[in-house]
Chains A and B, each alone.
Chain A
Amino acid sequence: GQQVMQIPQYQHVQEGEDFTTYCNSSTTLSNIQWYKQRPGGHPVFLIQLVKSGEVKKQKRLTFQFGEAKKNSSLHITATQTTDVGTYFCAGREGYSTLTFGKGTMLLVSP
């Protein structure tokens, strides 16, 4: 079945440093979504990417979808303590339901 792998599992950065999490699929995806889960909270939708090579930005967050639609990345520039949480990617193959990666936990020290 479809597998979505996410790395790293965990990253600890100093405030102001950049952060990137990567998502790789074993199959070609029709779209990919990113979610953020704050400690003790529930996942919250960040963005959806659909087109090959698509790049979207939300303030300090940059999302990319690979040309082959098998990988994606989330990059945060100049992290802040409010960025703390676990970031999940979720991919969809064809008309199937979403498959979530295991997430990357980000810790930001002031």
Chain B
Amino acid sequence: EAQVTQNPRYLITVTGKKLTVTCSQNMNHEYMSWYRQDPGLGLRQIYYSMNVEVTDKGDVPEGYKVSRKEKRNFPLILESPSPNQTSLYFCASSLWTVSSYNEQFFGPGTRLTVL
């Protein structure tokens, strides 16, 4: 089954404790992206990747890191989480070419609480 998986689905942590949220897709998609969703603010892009070893900042990258060592995986790293990073996080992937854009497939989401 074609899908985007995220782990963990729920996480409660404390300020400053490094954490990683994993994202994996089995559709051989070039493009992967991380979003955070907060009430009233919609989906805001954190980082995206056009292909392996190619990553770029989205609209709200501060406090986050990503890596794209393999095509299928795109982990989101919070080196020193703070309470303002409490949010619902979505990973998404899609096929990508310069001249077109395809539908994004979203993972189930990770609800993160930073105390």
Residues of chain A having any CB pair with chain B under 8 Å: 1, 6, 9, 30-31, 33, 35, 42-45, 48, 88, 90, 92, 95, 97-103
When C-beta atoms are compared, the residue in chain A nearest to B108 turns out to be: A42
**In the docked arrangement, what's the CA distance between A45 and B45, Å?**
17
Is B61 engaged at the interface, CB distance under 8 Å to the other chain?
Answer: no
Report how many residues on chain B are interfacial, defined by Cβ distance under 8 Å.
23
Task: Sort A-B residue pairs by CB-CB distance and give the 8 closest, nearest first.
Answer: A102-B42, A45-B103, A100-B43, A42-B106, A43-B106, A103-B42, A100-B42, A92-B101
Residues of chain B having any CB pair with chain A under 8 Å: 33, 35, 40-45, 48, 58-59, 90, 92, 98, 101-109
**In the docked arrangement, what's the CA distance between A98 and B103, Å?**
10
**In the docked arrangement, what's the CA distance between A92 and B48, Å?**
14
**In the docked arrangement, what's the CA distance between A13 and B59, Å?**
33
The one of B58, B105, B107, B108 that contacts A97, using a Cβ cutoff of 8 Å: B58
**In the docked arrangement, what's the CA distance between A35 and B104, Å?**
9
B103 cross-chain contacts in A, Cβ below 8 A:
33, 45, 48
| Contact flag A43-B43 (CB < 8 Å), given A48-B103, A97-B48, A98-B101 | yes
User: Is B98 a contact of A102 with CB atoms below 8 Å?
Assistant: no
User: Is B90 a contact of A31 with CB atoms below 8 Å?
Assistant: no
| Contact flag A44-B40 (CB < 8 Å), given A97-B58, A98-B101 | no
A103 cross-chain contacts in B, Cβ below 8 A:
42-43
User: Is B106 a contact of A101 with CB atoms below 8 Å?
Assistant: no
A90 cross-chain contacts in B, Cβ below 8 A:
43, 104
- Provide 30 A-B residue pairs closer than 8 Å at the C-beta atoms, listed in order of the A residue: A1-B59, A9-B40, A30-B101, A31-B101, A33-B101, A33-B103, A42-B90, A42-B106, A42-B108, A43-B90, A43-B92, A43-B106, A44-B106, A45-B103, A48-B101, A48-B102, A90-B104, A97-B33, A97-B45, A97-B48, A97-B58, A98-B101, A98-B104, A99-B59, A100-B35, A100-B43, A100-B45, A102-B40, A102-B41, A102-B42
